[in-house]
Amino acid sequence: MARHNRFIRWCVSIILILIIIYLGSRVDFIFKPVLSLFSMIIVPLMLAGFFYYLLRPIVNLMERRKVNRTFAILFIYLAFTAIMVVFSLGVWPSLRTQLLNLVENAPTLFTSLSEQVAELEHNGFISSFLPENSNPLSKLTEYLNKGFTLLTDYFSGMLSFFSNFAIVLITFPILLFYMLKEGGKFGEQIVSFIPKRFRKDGTEVMEDIDHMLSSFIVGRVIVNLALGVFMYVGFLIIDLPYALLLTVVAVILNFIPFIGSFLSSVPIVIIGFIESPTIAIWSIVIITVAQQIQDNLVAPYVFGKQLDIHPMTTIILVLVGGDIAGILGILLIIPVYMILKIVYCRVYELFFKQQWENA
């Protein structure tokens, strides 16, 4: 009888939740201002959270050395400004030159790509492996041209997405400053809303989430920078054109889970293939070796077993995140999943584990 009543309560709770969701969808105009505000601050909030976990260890170290926390943050801001000046004077001119050359030479590059494909089609050794009356390599060129058009349209959309750059530029440093100054109190404020008998568990959950986010963000930065160094050295050895630009793009794209490594490889192989098929093959070798070093040597050392997620789970999460919120969803879905997993495991342990094992 007790189990029957519990089942009825669960059914009633689910029905009430669905009714609330339905009623909320009927008055969605009430939530539009909130969603508009959220979409406006999500980018600076993401940037602030990203740099918060990168810079917090430095701020904490300086505070332990008897430096006032506010002065420590201001000193880091000053140092960061100096780094940006050095980057603007030392690295950016070369990067900008490569970027402008790539944009200006895009038509010539596609012409060279077509010529390379045509040469491969007339190669007797290659054509012997291809079906008769088929030209898959020509179709490859057509697909690449379509891909280039889609990529151009996508970046145009991204430019409009970042059209509120002034808002990001103003709000991001302010948010980061207060997060670095008061960051340790966020978890305490959230736990204060939990009933007293669960506050110890709530504090442990917040500590686990904080440790997970710190390990994830700092680890991703270290792993991707290591990948960038390996790839850049290899590209210089084979004399790949636009080596610095392609490496920077690869490092940025590798922050996208699962598909980032593939997306970053495509332009590298294309540029290498335009130069010569041999360069393309060596580019693939360098990418493969660098990613194997990253996945099997650097990543296990940095992450350990704390952030171990099954590859199939990662694929599903990336697909769901991309479908829900595009590129932002893909970037956020893994941390959100891990946060929910930590909360779920503690809730299950507190409320359901004993009942489930005794059922």
Give the model confidence (pLDDT) of 303-322 as tens digits: 655 566 777 777 788 788 87
Q: Where are the alpha helices (DSSP H) in the chain?
A: 2-26, 32-64, 69-90, 92-104, 106-121, 124-127, 136-161, 165-191, 199-237, 243-253, 259-275, 277-293, 299-303, 311-347, 353-358
| pTM (two decimals) | 0.71
Cα end-to-end span (Å), the chain: 14
Q: What is the pLDDT of residue 78?
A: 92
Angle at 78 between CA 181 and CA 167, to 5 degrees: 70
Distance (Å, whole) CA 252 – CA 249: 5
Confidence of residue 125 (pLDDT cuts 50, 70, 90): very low
User: Looking at residue 346, what is its pLDDT?
Assistant: 83
3 state SS for 189-258: HHHCCCCHHHHHHHHHHHHHHHHHHHHHHHHHHHHHHHHHHHHHHHHHHCCCCCHHHHHHHHHHHCCCCC
| Residue indicated by tokens 């201001």 | 74
Q: What percent of the chain has pLDDT over 90?
A: 3
What is the structure's pLDDT at 106? 67
pLDDT digit string, tens, across residues 155-177: 545 445 555 555 667 788 888 88
* Residues ≥6 apart with Cβ < 8 Å to 116: 273, 274, 276, 277
| Whole-number average pLDDT of the chain | 76
